[in-house]
Structure 1
Amino acid sequence: MKYLLLLALLAFVFFMIGARRGRRDEPGQGDRPQRPAAPKTMVSCAECGMHLPADEALPGKGGAFCGAEHRKRFEARQGQA
């Protein structure tokens, strides 16, 4: 009987340790909330007008572009005019 009581006590202690550890890993529990990411500068594609972050845009002679095909098409059209 005393071994059963000792086993139950050990199980309870390990359960409490696990519950504390799980609670500590949750966001917002004791930790400061993380700041949201700074907004990115957006540009629009000179060919299709789609908005995309400036760091992902391809630079070209007529502005920023969403892809190489749009840059090529725009520059070819500008060369004809």
Structure 2
Amino acid sequence: MKYLLLLALLAGVFFIARRGRPNEPEAPKPQPPAPPQTMLRCAECGMHLPADEALPGRGGVFCSAAHRASFEARQGQA
């Protein structure tokens, strides 16, 4: 009878200890998608690129410094 009482007591302690602890760690919450960006067209090659990556210049926006220089050099000749 003593062993049955001891076993019931140990089971109760184990049950209480497990109840206070979560079984699985919480999964990280997914990040919301980024908002859409405005797309701009390179004045030299016509490629579309996000506004935050565009390089401003005389005559429009450009996808690279080389295209900006090429476009401005052509405009200076005319």
TM-score grouping bracket, smaller chain normalisation:
0.5 to 0.7
TM-score normalised according to structure 2 size:
0.64
Identical aligned residues as a percent = 60
Q: CA deviation at 1:38?
A: 1.7
Query: After superposition, what is the alpha-carbon deviation per residue over 1:37-74, rounded to whole angstroms, capped at 9, x for unaligned?
Result: 22111101111111111121110111000111000000
2:37 is paired with a residue whose SS is coil
> Over aligned residue pairs, what C-alpha RMSD do you find?
3.1
Query: After superposition, what is the alpha-carbon deviation per residue over 1:23-44, rounded to whole angstroms, capped at 9, x for unaligned?
Result: x22437xxxxx54322111101
Displaced runs of 4+ in structure 1, greater than 6 A?
A: none
**Of 47, 55, 58, the match for 2:55:** 58
Unaligned runs of at least 5 residues, structure 2 = 1-5
TM-score normalised according to structure 1 size:
0.62
Max Rg structure = 2
Q: How many residue pairs were aligned?
A: 69
Higher helix share: 1
| Corresponding residue number in structure 2 for 1:39 | 36
Inter-partner Cα distance in structure 1 for 2:37 and 2:69? 26
Unaligned runs of at least 5 residues, structure 1 = 29-33
1:25 is paired with a residue whose SS is coil
Alignment of 1:1-81 (within 5 A): 9=14, 13=18, 17-19=22-24, 22=25, 24-27=26-29, 35-81=32-78
